[in-house]
A and B are shown apart, each in its own frame.
Chain A
Amino acid sequence: MQVRYFDHAGTTPLDPAVLEAMMPYLRESFGNPMSIYELGGRASAAVQEARADVAALINARPSGVIFTASGAESNNFALRGIALARQNEGKHIIVSKAEHHSVLNSARFLEKQGFIVTYLPIDGYGMVEPETLGKAITKETVLISIILASPEVGTIQPIRELAKMAKEKGIIFHTDAVAAAGQIPIDVKELGVDLLSLSAHQFYGPKGAAALYVREGLRIVPLIYGGIQEGGRRAGTENVPAIAGMGKAAAIARERLSHRIEYLRPLRDRLIEGVKKTDNVYLTGHPAERLPGHASFTVEFVEGEAMLLMMAAKGIYAASGSACSSKALKSSPVLLSMGIPSSVAQGSIVFSLGHENSTDDVEYAITEFSVIAKKLREISPYRGGWGGVEEAEKCIPKK
């Protein structure tokens, strides 16, 4: 059976050119970048080259890019590192309710360390309103972290506007761009952010390589102590093959970004149009301000996991909410924060497209989705509805 992969927000396949760029560092060029002989020099050069490529993808200076092992590490590093570095100036942190667990759980950890955290509400599209942020800022606020684009609902936040508000008050601004990097153009200077997280496996690079951009001159307390790798800011022998792969993936993404976007948008729009033809299916997230390959829905009267399993049996690999929430069979906190009732949020499904998806894949997914949703509703105890129209109405995003 042919597999149609629609879970690029979960992870992307490795680009063959990326694998090729990694191979020397898994074989003959295995040196430690800290070693002074030629073999070490070769590994060190690979890391520096990758740093320049990753920096170019986000229009940063190479010295501002710190390699880490995952997007989660980058987010932990940003939150804990800045909070600890700035705690004498204030102990208030702001994060949004649209954040990934790695930001939310870091914030919770900091709460236990005596920080005060505000969890900003989001609107029906999953968006943070600048006004809401403005009201949350206090004299004690030292850090704001707001996700650039949601992997769950695809919504792209007005980061430039939000970061500007932070800058005006001298507050450090971090954005989690893990779902956005390599998908949409990112320019740290234009966005005005102080820190930005990104991860290679979200743009056809390998797992195990990610980065945190830190603005020049910004002090950050390390998360991992040890040697002086990454300019003394992140210890641990560099994962040279994965970092080399991340650099290559960043260079390819930068070169092909506009082509990929032009290809994905109509494909995504066709998928949204086709899937919504089934009754009681609603698009989640913003209709326009969303990632080019991202189509997410709530399907009433069915349970997301059952839908995923039946789709997988047809070779369609999609997701339901975030990877973490799916595993725990929990309703997505992001969907709940958007005002979608828990019963409806259970029927969440996310298709995230990649440039290797074809029109045929999309048409196949639309047809099979409609059959599966119908089949599941026939056996659903809620097939006649929730007992009223109120619940159904609640899942239509309100601005």
Chain B
Amino acid sequence: MTLKFVEDLKADVTADIVYMMCPMHLLKLEEMMKTIEPGQVLEILTDYDGALEDIPAWCEKTGNEFLGVKETEDFFKFYIKRKGR
């Protein structure tokens, strides 16, 4: 799994979990993916650097598309597209 850095992407839904403890990034990811439509993009904001490994790995495991990550001064923005379209 390669980590892909991108600029800000247009997301359909944003989940802000900055400062929330690990593994909230994975729990929130699963929860939010169920709420969006296939083809829609989820943006997750987190300061947890372990997500750099976990989120792409989760996408690979579940077949959802990892669009990339953007690093800001305080946190990361992850972009994930729901599979199925």
Contact = CB atoms under 8 A, between A and B. Distances in A.
Contact of B19 (A88, A222, A227): A222
A226 B23 CA distance: 10
Nearest to B23: A228
B30 interface: no
Contacts of B16: 217, 219
Nearest to A225: B21
A231 B74 contact: no
Contacts of A372: none
A219 B24 contact: no
Given A228-B24, A228-B27, A233 B19 contact: yes
Main secondary structure of the interface of B (DSSP, over half): loop
A219 B18 contact: yes
A233 B73 contact: no
B74 A88 contact: yes
Contacts of A88: 73-74
Main secondary structure of the interface of A (DSSP, over half): loop
B21 A228 contact: yes
A232 B21 contact: yes
Interface in A217-246: 217, 219-222, 225-228, 231-233, 235
B17 interface: yes
B13 interface: no
B74 A233 contact: no
Interface string A77-107: 0000100010010000000000000000000
A232 B73 contact: no
A231 B73 contact: no
Interface in A266-308: none
Contacts, number: 35
B20 interface: yes
A217 B23 CA distance: 19
B21 A235 contact: yes
Interface in B19-35: 19-24, 27
Interface in B60-75: 73-74
Most-contacted residue by chain A among B16, B19, B22, B23 (CB, 10 A):
B19
A226 B19 contact: no
Contacts of B22: 228, 232
Given A88-B73, A88-B74, A231 B19 contact: no
A232 B18 contact: no
A217 B21 CA distance: 16
B11 to A, nearest CB: 16
Contacts of A85: 18-19
Contact of B17 (A221, A225, A232): A232
Contacts of B23: 228
Contact of A220 (B19, B24, B73, B74): B19
A217 B45 CA distance: 12
Nearest to B25: A232
Given A217-B16, A219-B16, A220-B19, A232 B74 contact: no
B54 to A, nearest CB: 14
Interface in A59-87: 81, 85
A117 B4 CA distance: 42
B21 A233 contact: yes
A85 B18 CA distance: 9
A221 B21 contact: no
Given A217-B16, A228-B27, A222 B21 contact: yes
26 contacts: A81-B19, A85-B18, A88-B73, A88-B74, A217-B16, A219-B16, A220-B19, A221-B19, A222-B20, A222-B21, A225-B21, A226-B21, A227-B21, A228-B20, A228-B21, A228-B22, A228-B23, A228-B27, A231-B20, A231-B24, A232-B17, A232-B21, A232-B24, A233-B20, A233-B21, A235-B21
Interface of B: 16-24, 27, 73-74
Given A81-B19, A227-B21, A228-B24, 13 more contacts: A88-B73, A219-B16, A219-B18, A219-B19, A221-B19, A222-B20, A226-B21, A228-B20, A231-B20, A232-B21, A232-B22, A233-B20, A233-B21
